[in-house]
Amino acid sequence: MTNAIDVSHVSKTFRYVALERTVSLKDALVKRLFVPRDQRRRTVQALKDVSFSVGHGQMLGIVGRNGSGKSTLMRLLAGVFPPNAGTIAIDGTLTPLLSLGAGFHPDLTGYENARVELLVLGFSPKEAEAKLDAIRDFSEIGGFMDAPVRTYSAGMVLRLAFAVAFCVDPDILLLDEVLAVGDELFAQKCLTAIEGFKERGKTIVLVSHSIGFVERWCDVALWLERGEVHMFGEVQSVLRAYAENHARAEFG
Amino acid sequence: MTQISSTNESFALARRLYRYRWLIYSLVLRDLKLRYRGSVLGFAWTLINPLIFMGVYTLVFSVFLRAGIKDFPLFLLSGLLPWTWLSNALQQGSGAIVAGRMYVGKTLFPTEALIVVPVVSNLVNFLLSLPVFVVIAVLLHGHLGVALLALPLLIALQCAMTFGLVTVFATLNVFYRDVQQLVAHLLMLGFFLTPIFYAPDSIPASIRPWALANPFATMVIAYRSVLFENSFPGIDAIAYLTLAGLVLLGCGHLIYSRCKDSFGEYL
């Protein structure tokens, strides 16, 4: 049996230009001409030789401190950018729910944003149109579907994003720290949807800072530390080690 | 089974554009709708601008200055309409990546689509203005005929040139927002330095080759021969436009592929 996700020896390096953000044309030209190339560009290794796999129907929780590479890993899995080394194999359709509202255009309405997102995910206009009613119903934001997203509250953005992800009904769902906002009722609705998702044998990868949440829902856990896999395996043991490490860092 | 790895693929752009054809189609449609949302005259506005130009320039150049160009209104429109496509696409397109920053680097939304949309939606506007041109040409007894067969080729070449140039400007605009301002001024200069409202032969012969080296001058002259003189553009003009299209596409591809990884830092 193949795995839903196979990640082997993946590394990701970001290059960034070490210039001031607001540059004048003169400055920019001077630096471009006289500062040697390797001094202008710096690199950050966000992920280093990361390998793990997730079986079909499993739910993986990714934990780690800020800047440990969790979001980079999620974006690699989503295919936003390719890794510098290593391979990622995905078996099935995948829908990412990355940083909240990142893919929403503030001037477009809820409907228009949902439509764009569906088209980005590869649906035809007809298929996208057919899903819009279900998205409106799931999100429960009613009339706001016709209003520009800039008028939405954070909770409404979350509702819309979740509604799109669930109505697409992918084989694999990526959730990057998106359950933090939203009211109790809608959170409950999302959890019910996630449960249904799991029951139908679908795969979920989620990033969360809430250890309790990961413990309750996930089967396997991945602990990232400075871009490397510190521990990967059954959820209880990984979380226990992670919690101990945390306690030591705080009190030791 | 999807494989994501570091291997670089050629023709990746073409494949991505095909994959996202529905997205581009829908964004173009939206762009066109949005332009006329809430306006009573709608699409007519796209035509009013060139028609006002036609009226004023005819008055100034045929009546006041007596430049002596025969059928001046059609002469002007045949060059002005393709120039309008270029000009609007560049103005809208050079800010496109910055305007779509919420999609870049964080989502699956293809950044290339942001650049393609302004080129295509202004192409659609150009195509919609052609029937109106034909009506005016018939009313003013213009010469339209078999040379129109060359029109699709010219349009394809202009697509390539415009897309290449928009890619260059839109990419640079991410790093230096001055580019958008610069483009507006370049277009103003370009409008006067391109034989749109004057004939190429009115440029003194000694500097004419330099003045006409601009590929968009070649483009306007080629459109004019098709839409105004009913003669096929010369093979040398087509060759030059093809070369310009390839060079501009190449420049666009080079700059874009070198810079796209750092977009996130600057947006």
Q: DSSP for chain A, please give it.
A: ---SEEEEEEEEEEEEE-S-SS--HHHHHHHHHHS-HHHHEEEEEEEEEEEEEE-TT-EEEEE--TTSSHHHHHHHHHTSS--SEEEEEE-S-EEEE-STTTT--TTSBHHHHHHHHHHHTT--HHHHHHHHHHHHHHHT-GGGGGSBGGG--HHHHHHHHHHHHHHH--SEEEEES-SSSS-HHHHHHHHHHHHHHHHTT-EEEEE-S-HHHHHHH-SEEEEEETTEEEEEEEHHHHHHHHHHHHHHHHH-
Tokens of residue B184, six digits: 């507006």
> DSSP alpha helices (H): ranges in chain B?
12-19, 21-36, 44-58, 72-93, 96-99, 111-139, 151-175, 178-193, 208-211, 215-227, 235-259, 263-266
pLDDT at B9 over 70: no
Query: In this structure, are strands A85-90 and B2-5 parallel, antiparallel, or unpaired?
Result: antiparallel
pLDDT at B124 over 90: yes
Select from A180, A124, A171 the least CA-distant residue to A161: A180
> Which single residue is written with the structure tokens 């213009």?
B142
Helix (H, G, I), strand (E, B) or coil at B175: helix
Tokens of residue A209, six digits: 């800072």
With b for 16 or more beta-carbon neighbours within 10 A and e for fewer, the A157-177 pattern comes to bbbbbbbbbbbbebbbbbbbb
Please name the member of A25, A83, A104 whose beta carbon is closest to the beta carbon of B178.
A25
Instruction: Give the confidence band of B108 by pLDDT, cuts at 50, 70, 90.
Output: confident
Q: Do A91 and B107 touch (CB under 8 A)?
A: no
> At residue B5, what are phi and psi to the nearest 5 degrees?
-145, 180
Q: Are B50 and B136 in contact (CB under 8 A)?
A: no
Average pLDDT over residues A100-126: 88
Measure in Å the smallest separation between the Cα of A122 and chain B Cα atoms: 7
Q: Do A106 and B109 touch (CB under 8 A)?
A: no
Instruction: Give residue A39's pLDDT.
Output: 59
pLDDT at B211 over 80: yes
Listed in sequence order, the residues at least 6 apart from B125 whose beta carbon sits closer than 8 Å to its beta carbon are B32, B46, B84, B85, B88
Percent of chain A with pLDDT over 90: 47
> Which single residue is written with the structure tokens 């009313």?
B139
Asked if the C-beta of A28 comes within 8 angstroms of chain B's C-beta atoms, the answer is: yes
Please name the member of A84, A90, A120 whose beta carbon is closest to the beta carbon of B109.
A120
Compute the CA torsion angle B137, B143, B144, B150 (nearest 10 deg).
Answer: -120
Measure in Å the smallest separation between the Cα of A215 and chain B Cα atoms: 28
Instruction: Give residue A14's pLDDT.
Output: 83
Range in B8-22, B91-105, B147-161 with the lowest mean pLDDT: B8-22
Query: In this structure, are strands A220-225 and A228-234 parallel, antiparallel, or unpaired?
Result: antiparallel
> At residue A208, what are phi and psi to the nearest 5 degrees?
-150, 145
Average pLDDT over residues A145-173: 90
pLDDT at A134 over 90: yes
Instruction: Give the confidence band of A128 by pLDDT, cuts at 50, 70, 90.
Output: very high
Instruction: Give the confidence band of B217 by pLDDT, cuts at 50, 70, 90.
Output: very high
Asked if the C-beta of B9 comes within 8 angstroms of chain A's C-beta atoms, the answer is: no
Instruction: Give residue A59's pLDDT.
Output: 93
Measure in Å the smallest separation between the Cα of B166 and chain A Cα atoms: 20
Percent of chain B with pLDDT over 70: 96
Interface test with B, best of A42, A119, A160 (most B CBs within 10 A): A119
Instruction: Give residue B47's pLDDT.
Output: 79
Instruction: Give residue B121's pLDDT.
Output: 94
Measure in Å the smallest separation between the Cα of A63 and chain B Cα atoms: 20
Helix (H, G, I), strand (E, B) or coil at B2: strand
Instruction: Give the confidence band of A36 by pLDDT, cuts at 50, 70, 90.
Output: low
Q: Do B262 and A125 touch (CB under 8 A)?
A: no
d(CA B17, CA B15): 5
Chain A, nearest residue to B1 by Cα: A91
Q: Are A214 and A193 in contact (CB under 8 A)?
A: no
Range in A54-68, A157-171, B35-49 with the lowest mean pLDDT: B35-49
Q: Is the pTM of this model over 0.90?
A: no
**pLDDT tens figures, A233-247:** 999 999 999 988 888
Burial of A24 (0-12, 13-18, 19+ CB in 10 A): exposed
Percent of chain A with pLDDT over 70: 85
Asked if the C-beta of B37 comes within 8 angstroms of chain A's C-beta atoms, the answer is: no
- Which residues in chain B have their CB less than 8 angstroms from residue A98's CB? 106-107
Mean pLDDT estimate for chain B: 90
Instruction: Give residue B69's pLDDT.
Output: 84
Instruction: Please give the interface size between A and B, counted as residue pairs whose CB atoms are below 8 Å apart.
Output: 96
A110-120 and A154-168 are packed helices; what angle lies between their axes, rounded to 10 degrees?
A: 40
Interface test with B, best of A77, A80, A113 (most B CBs within 10 A): A80
DSSP bridge partners of A12: A47
Q: Do B262 and A16 touch (CB under 8 A)?
A: yes
Asked if the C-beta of B191 comes within 8 angstroms of chain A's C-beta atoms, the answer is: no
